[in-house]
């Protein structure tokens, strides 16, 4: 069992991971500034500290007080359109904040870090599925902030001669909720398609907007690789085991290796919810790639990762049932 710090552990993915770690018997400390996270999402058996990773002294003191052995780093701003409107805010939080955290880890003798990266580092990939060695040309500050942090980890870890190691997990489209109904995505200002569809099915949103239906895909709408949040959680735990076993620094895609169009997701959500919610096609959003699907061979090879929820209807159904609990 390990003493683990989870940054951003009151947020969607961080809280799911923190709960799984607690259930596995680890000692978990969650740090979150509650900008978008919920205090109620922090597991009862985890210790909680409200604060910001930008405060390096605060983080250093926390690491040393709790004798932390490993860090799972989720704390970040993650809304792409917002990053375009407020790039300085994203660089300050995602890049400078991450550098402060990494430096605090190095100063405190932390040996392991798992970083929440993103498929946004690839920008507009030339081919799909996209592999880890593809050209990385982010097209928004959010993606750039993740790539800069990956570069920082690579160079700072290399300078320690193996004393500090990391795994960067590049998420594709995360969705869904725990099957037991304990946790799900709770943010009211949803931007992700499945969450937006859930709100429309629960009648808390007037309609679902499709941003363009003239892409070079079978039905004209964008294709994405959707991964269930619980499979993403298992990838993080597998990454910790990999580092425990002496694994080297690596960046890995987190996806299922196949994609679904916006129209297919909308149809699936209507089927599982039995609600014919309103859908409106509007103009394209700037920077949306027609297709973004993971080549997931390496994560299976390096982490022996085996997804359990690779089924769009399972993802949609769990997300919809969670959304219903929020409305009760």
Question: Is 232 contained in some domain?
Answer: yes
In-domain check, residue 51 = yes
Do both 192 and 116 map to the same domain?
A: no
**37 shares its domain with 50:** yes
Quick one: average pLDDT of 185-195? 86
Shared domain for 249 and 211, answered yes or no, is no
With tokens 């592999």, the residue in question is: 131
Tell me, yes or no, whether 130 and 268 share the same domain: no
* Cα–Cα distance for residue pair 174/167, rounded to 1 Å: 18
User: What are the pLDDT digits (tens) for 246-289?
Assistant: 999 999 999 999 999 999 999 999 999 999 999 999 999 887 89
Inter-residue contact 272 to 313 (CB < 8 Å):
yes
pLDDT in tens, 144-186: 999 999 999 999 999 999 999 999 999 999 999 999 999 999 9
Average pLDDT score over residue span 282-310:
95
130 part of a folded domain: yes
Q: Is residue 301 part of a domain?
A: no
> Tokens standing for 199?
């709100």
pLDDT-derived band at 327 (thresholds 50, 70, 90) equals confident
pLDDT at 87 over 70: yes
Q: Before 129, cis peptide (omega within 30)?
A: yes
Q: Is residue 134 part of a domain?
A: yes
Catalytic choice (12, 122, 142, 309): 142
Q: What is the CATH number of the domain that holds 215?
A: 3.90.25.10
Place of tokens 């904040």: 97
CATH code: domain of residue 147: 3.40.50.720
In a domain, 74, yes or no: yes
Residue 327 tokens, joined? 């409305």
For residues 83-111, give the mean pLDDT: 97
On whether residue 299 sits in a domain, the answer given is: no
Beta-carbon contacts of 180 under 8 Å, excluding residues fewer than 6 positions away, are: none
| pLDDT of 188 | 65
DSSP state of 291: E
Q: Are 83 and 104 part of one and the same domain?
A: yes
241 and 263 in a common domain: no
Nearest Cα residue to 186 out of 323, 1, 14, 26: 323
Mean pLDDT along residues 295-312: 97
Task: Specify the pLDDT at position 191.
Answer: 85
State mean pLDDT over 193-208: 96
User: What size, in residues, is the chain?
Assistant: 328
Q: Tell me, yes or no, whether 236 and 89 share the same domain.
A: yes
Are residues 276 and 182 both part of a single domain? Answer: yes
What is the rounded average pLDDT of the residues 4-26? 98
Does residue 189 have a pLDDT over 90? no
Question: Is the pLDDT assigned to residue 55 strictly greater than 70?
Answer: yes
Please check whether residue 176 is in contact with residue 321, taking contact to mean a CB–CB distance below 8 angstroms.
Answer: no
Instruction: Specify whether 11 is located in the same domain as 60.
Output: yes
Domain span at residue 128 reads 3-174+227-254
pTM score over 0.85: yes
For residue 242, indicate whether it is catalytic: no
Q: Are residues 262 and 239 in the same domain?
A: no
Same domain, 98 and 244: yes
For 183-194, letters b (16+ CB in 10 Å) and e give bbbbeeebebbb
**Residue 197 forms part of a structural domain:** yes
Residue 301, pLDDT score:
97
CB atoms closer than 10 angstroms to residue 56: 18
User: Lowest-pLDDT range, 123-127, 165-169, 186-190, 289-293?
Assistant: 186-190
Cα–Cα distances (Å) from 132 to 35, 42, 228, 297, in that order, read 31, 32, 20, 10
- Same structural domain for residues 275 and 184? yes
> How many domains are there within the chain?
2
């Amino acid at each position: 069992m390990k003493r683990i710090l989870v940054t951003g552990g009151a947020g969607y993915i961080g809280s799911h991971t923190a709960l799984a770690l607690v259930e596995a018997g680890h000692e978990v400390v969650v740090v979150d500034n509650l900008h978008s996270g919920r205090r109620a999402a922090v597991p009862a058996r985890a210790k909680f500290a409200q604060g910001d990773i930008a405060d390096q002294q605060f983080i250093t003191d926390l690491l040393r007080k709790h004798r932390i052995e490993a860090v799972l780093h989720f704390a970040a701003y993650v809304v792409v359109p917002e990053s375009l409107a407020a790039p300085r805010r994203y660089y300050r939080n995602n890049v400078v904040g991450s550098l402060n955290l990494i430096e605090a880890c190095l100063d405190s003798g932390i040996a392991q870090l798992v970083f929440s990266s993103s498929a946004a580092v690839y920008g507009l990939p030339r081919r799909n599925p996209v592999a880890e060695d593809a050209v990385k040309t982010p097209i928004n500050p959010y993606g750039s902030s993740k790539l800069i942090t990956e570069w920082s980890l690579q160079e700072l870890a290399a300078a320690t001669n193996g004393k500090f190691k990391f795994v960067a997990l590049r998420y594709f489209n995360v969705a869904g909720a725990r099957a037991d109904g304990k946790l799900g995505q709770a943010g009211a200002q949803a931007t992700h398609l499945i969450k937006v569809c859930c709100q429309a099915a629960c009648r808390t949103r007037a309609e679902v907007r499709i941003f363009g239906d003239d892409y070079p895909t079978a039905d004209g709408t964008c294709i994405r690789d959707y991964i269930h949040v619980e499979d993403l959680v298992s990838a993080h735990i597998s990454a910790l085991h990999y580092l425990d076993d002496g694994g080297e620094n690596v960046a890995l895609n987190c996806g299922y290796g196949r994609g679904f169009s916006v129209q297919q997701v909308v149809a699936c959500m209507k089927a599982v919810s039995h609600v014919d919610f309103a859908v409106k096609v509007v103009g394209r959003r700037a920077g949306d790639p027609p297709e973004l699907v993971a080549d997931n061979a390496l994560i299976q090879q390096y982490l022996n990762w085996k997804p359990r929820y690779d089924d769009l209807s399972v993802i949609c159904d769990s997300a919809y049932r969670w959304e219903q609990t929020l409305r009760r």
